[in-house]
Amino acid sequence: MGFSIYAADAWIHDLAKVTGAVIAYLVIYGIAVVPGFMNAFLVVSLLLDRRPAARESSGRLPGISILVAAYNEEANIVSTIESIARQQYEGPLQVLVINDGSTDSTAEKLAGLSYPWLQVLNLERNAGKANALNAGLALVRHHLTITVDGDSYLYRNALRNLVRRYMSDPPTTRAVAGAVLVRNSRKNMVTAIQEWDYFHGIAAIKRLQSLYQGTLVAQGAFSIYDTAVLRELGGWSHTVGEDIVLTWAILEKGHRVGFAENACLFTNAPDTWLQFIRQRQRWSRGLIEAFKSHWRLLFKARMTTLFIWWNLLFPYMDLVYTFAFVPGLVLALFGVYWIAGPMTLLVLPLAMLVNYLMFTVQAKMFTEQGLKVRRNVVGFIFYALFYSVVLQPACVLGYIKEVISRSKNWGTK
């Protein structure tokens, strides 16, 4: 970090001649110094991470209730339930599918399924994911509740690995996020690129945060919660990012949230850039909602607070990237090297090093689970070089939308 600040001094000095000192510092720190620190912190933490093995359970595993909120999932809901059936979970099981007023044949598909542990709740009208999950929560019978998206597929032992991690983590743990991976990565280039984001970036960040005793998002696609805590908090709030808002509410109560890297669920990622942009807008809105509701976490004396402040920097970095670095790249193409230039290419070897480390960590987990990392070289190249050009402006749109809009619509992931 110190070296980065020293090395950036001449860069800031030259840019200040054009923009002024304040803007120069904000731009260079936002696109280079702060992200560089975060990447260095990530690398060192992953190298030091020695995840304790989950304890083997004696006898039957505890009872679990699975909530599957579904809206117009006629193409996927049957395979989702069948993947739960194949789990052979060694404990009492309750599965509640909440059909949130679907207008397709989701209800008919569910009516054709017959499992003793399956219960279907058909809501008359679509009222949002949070409402659907809360309707299911009212019927939960077990003290552990798991959420699963209606277009997902649970890999073998996913439920067992998730529950074992919950039981093995420190006693203050009240939620554990599972590992969500891309199911439709072969569909087109949009999903092929996202495969690396889920496999690399998202998983690495969750692993990092759990090392410091607090994963910040127990995503609704696949996570386990203490049922009593869910009810104490009033379930899911009617927000765009109901899962991050709920997770931060759990953290504000003083509880811990973990991560089960070997509890794998495959889900359908957005398969068009427009869908992707809308998804990331929702995620960004969820972050702002979490800060609005649980800003007190910024001042809690615990290790997780580091990452709360870390997240507070994301809007700043996304804004700088969108309105300074991207235009800087365009200027560089015309020989104007105020922000980007030939020296910018020196970050590529470092980026490859970071990605190689994340790949090594994740590939080891895949091998342990009997999975193989598929060859997706073109997707990786676009992910490493161009992904942020779409991702970060999409996040900026999300921040703006949260400020000017009050609409809270059903969305994916």
pLDDT digits (tens, 9 = 90+) for 131-186: 999 999 999 999 999 999 999 999 999 999 999 999 999 999 999 999 999 999 99
Tokens of 6: 């020293």
pLDDT tens digits along 290-303: 999 999 999 988 88
**Which residue type occupies 311?**
N
Average pLDDT over residues 388-392: 91
Residues 130 and 188 occupy one common structural domain: yes
pLDDT tens digits along 75-122: 999 999 999 999 989 899 999 999 999 999 999 999 999 899 999 999
Rg of the Cα trace of the chain? 22
The band of 36, judged by pLDDT with boundaries at 50, 70 and 90, is: confident
Residues 156 and 250 occupy one common structural domain: yes
Of 299, 327, 355, which residue sits at a domain end? 299
Residues 186 and 245 occupy one common structural domain: yes
Return the pLDDT at 200.
85
The band of 408, judged by pLDDT with boundaries at 50, 70 and 90, is: low
Return the pLDDT at 413.
52
Return the pLDDT at 368.
85
Query: What CATH number should be reported for the domain holding residue 260?
Result: 3.90.550.10
The DSSP call for residue 101 is S
pTM comes to 0.90
Position with higher pLDDT, 59 vs 176? 176
Residues 135 and 274 occupy one common structural domain: yes
Domain holding 27, by residue range, is 2-49+305-404
Helix then strand then coil, % of the chain, to nearest 5:
55, 15, 30
Return the pLDDT at 57.
65
- For residues 168 and 251, the answer to whether their CB atoms sit within 8 Å is no
Residues 286 and 342 occupy one common structural domain: no
Residue 361: inside a domain, yes or no?
yes
Residues 133 and 250 occupy one common structural domain: yes
3-state secondary structure of 190: helix
The band of 407, judged by pLDDT with boundaries at 50, 70 and 90, is: low
Tally of domains in the chain: 2
Percent of the chain past pLDDT 70, that is, above it, reads 97
The Cα 275–Cα 338 span in angstroms is 34
The band of 357, judged by pLDDT with boundaries at 50, 70 and 90, is: confident
Return the pLDDT at 23.
94
Residues 95 and 204 occupy one common structural domain: yes
Residue 58: inside a domain, yes or no?
no
Residue 55: inside a domain, yes or no?
no
Residues 23 and 107 occupy one common structural domain: no
The residue whose two tokens read 């279907």 is 120
**Which residue type occupies 303?**
M
Closest CA to 31 of 388, 332, 312: 388
pLDDT tens digits along 320-348: 999 999 998 899 889 888 888 777 777 77
